[in-house]
């Protein structure tokens, strides 16, 4: 691959709270590789990504003067490589060409991510009026949205009807009565329960109709004059057993047959989410063949990937605001408590509800910049616990991490793989900000062209 540097090669820096689209700024541009005519990668694009992220982190930190910046001027911030989102999309199309991705907006509703995915032809899985509004505000057709929430507020159903968002899910009788009253022409998908016992975040404990209830629900929908066009399921988030998808597809086939017996013309299968970055090929290797085995080509198949697209694209940097020494009363050894200006009530909320285990790394110490530095064999490390800024004792990012002992107040730490369920679920607890700046870079020319077009 050949790499080009345009103008000053500075990353585009935008505040996500004030900007809706990436634009060229004087003296700044993307740095992007020029691909050798195909979508296969040899690893060099990752080096480009790391270089861009490193440059963006350094520039942002160098712009902060803690001695005279405004209050909050040294807040935590993100660097997002939109090229990584682009690569994940190509990876999806290569491994699951039949299945259309409908991005789960709840995972990360970042406007640039949504814009890029829209330009790539993705659909969108929305779970609320606000998420639907966000997608529609970007001039995306309502036909590219599925309202994938089986228990909806009546007013939200009316809103979906008014905006032409026809596809929505249900899993209970009361939802059918609401749909008959407020949106009788909706195109409904029956969400079924799955075996999600091997998922980190189980969803069938809350949503999904058991198989022994699907026939009666379909019969009720028929009696109410509603149109059931398909079936949806979700095997749980972070599943570590790809075969869970096979069982779910088999169950969906059974419900399709039940619908056919009642006269429903079902032509849409939603295979949900749960796709991990690290085991995606393993999932695709069983899901794709299962879909082809049980469903003919005239059945449209969609999915709801979220973290798959964005987790690896975002890095967060946080400032060390305090340090406390702790001496073990038994062995006399010292460890340290580090306090950051971000925590579980901020961008690390996934520690509490999403089984996330963020890994801290030293970004700066004094005048040194350590992004991407590998720990040397035999290098001395010190035990730290990492804490957020609020007054709550539960605000702990990591109870045990090992870092070089050089970490001081005023240094910065960084955390990779922070694109999923982070910024979107931050709060203002204790008066801290829930809106952190995002610095965008792009390591793929295709993505840059789509965003600048």
Give me the active site residues, please.
Answer: 391
Looking up tokens 């949900």 gives: 272
Residue 187 to residue 20: CA distance in whole angstroms = 31
- For the four alpha carbons of 29, 34, 39 and 45, in that order, the dihedral sign comes to negative
Q: Are 253 and 295 in contact (CB under 8 A)?
A: yes
Cα distance between residue 338 and residue 333, in whole Å? 17
CA distances from residue 67 to 64, 70, 71, 413, 428 in whole angstroms, order as listed: 9, 9, 10, 19, 25
Strand 77-81 to 438-441 pairing: parallel
| Measured distance CA(230)–CA(299) in Å, rounded | 9
Beta carbons of 185 and 166 less than 8 angstroms apart? yes
> What tokens does 435 get?
């809106």
Residue 191, beta-bridge partner list:
232
User: What CA–CA distances, in Å, run from 269 to 185, 203, 249?
Assistant: 19, 18, 9
Strand partners, 320: 340
Q: Cα(250)–Cα(259) distance, rounded to whole angstroms?
A: 15
Q: Which residues contact 273 (CB under 8 A, 6 or more apart)?
A: 104, 125, 234, 237, 303, 304, 305, 306, 308
């Amino acid at each position: 691959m050949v790499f080009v540097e345009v103008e000053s090669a500075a990353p585009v820096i935008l505040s996500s709270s004030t900007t809706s689209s990436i634009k060229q700024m004087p003296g700044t541009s993307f740095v992007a590789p020029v691909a050798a005519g195909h979508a296969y990668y040899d690893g060099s694009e990752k080096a480009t990504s790391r270089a861009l992220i490193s440059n963006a982190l350094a520039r942002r930190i160098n712009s902060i003067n803690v001695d005279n910046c405004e209050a909050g001027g040294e807040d935590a911030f993100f660097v997002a490589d939109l090229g990584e989102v682009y690569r994940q999309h190509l990876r999806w199309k290569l491994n699951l060409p039949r299945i259309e991705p409908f991005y789960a907006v709840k995972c990360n509703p970042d406007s640039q991510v949504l814009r890029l995915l829209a330009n790539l032809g993705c659909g969108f899985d929305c779970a609320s009026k606000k998420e639907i509004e966000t997608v529609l505000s970007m001039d995306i057709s309502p036909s590219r949205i599925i309202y994938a929430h089986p228990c909806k507020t009546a007013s939200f159903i009316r809103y979906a009807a008014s905006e032409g968002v026809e596809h929505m899910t249900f899993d209970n009788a009361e939802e059918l009565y609401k749909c008959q009253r407020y949106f009788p022409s909706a195109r409904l998908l029956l969400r079924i329960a799955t075996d999600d016992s091997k998922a980190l975040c189980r969803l069938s404990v809350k949503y999904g109709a058991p198989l022994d209830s699907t026939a009666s629900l379909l019969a009720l929908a028929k009696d109410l004059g509603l149109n059931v066009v398909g079936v949806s399921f979700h095997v749980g988030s972070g599943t570590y057993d790809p075969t869970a998808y096979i069982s779910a597809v088999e169950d969906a086939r059974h419900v399709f047959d039940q619908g056919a017996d009642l006269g429903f013309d079902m032509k849409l299968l939603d295979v949900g989410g749960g796709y991990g970055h690290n085991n995606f090929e393993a999932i695709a290797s069983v899901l794709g063949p299962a879909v082809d085995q049980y469903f003919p080509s005239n059945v449209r198949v969609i999915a709801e990937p979220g973290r798959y697209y964005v987790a690896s694209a975002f890095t967060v940097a946080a400032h060390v605001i305090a340090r406390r020494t702790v001496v073990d009363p038994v062995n006399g050894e010292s460890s340290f408590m580090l306090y950051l200006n971000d925590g579980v009530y901020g961008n690390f909320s996934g520690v509490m509800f999403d089984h996330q285990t963020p890994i801290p790394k030293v970004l700066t110490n004094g005048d040194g910049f350590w992004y991407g530095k590998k720990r040397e064999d035999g290098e001395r490390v010190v035990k730290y616990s990492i804490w957020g800024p609020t007054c709550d004792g539960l605000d702990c990012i990591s109870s045990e991490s090992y870092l070089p002992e050089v970490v001081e107040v005023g240094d910065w730490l960084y955390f990779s793989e922070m694109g999923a369920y982070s910024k979107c679920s931050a709060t203002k607890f204790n008066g801290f900000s829930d809106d952190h700046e995002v610095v965008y870079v792009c390591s793929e020319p295709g993505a840059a062209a789509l965003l600048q077009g």
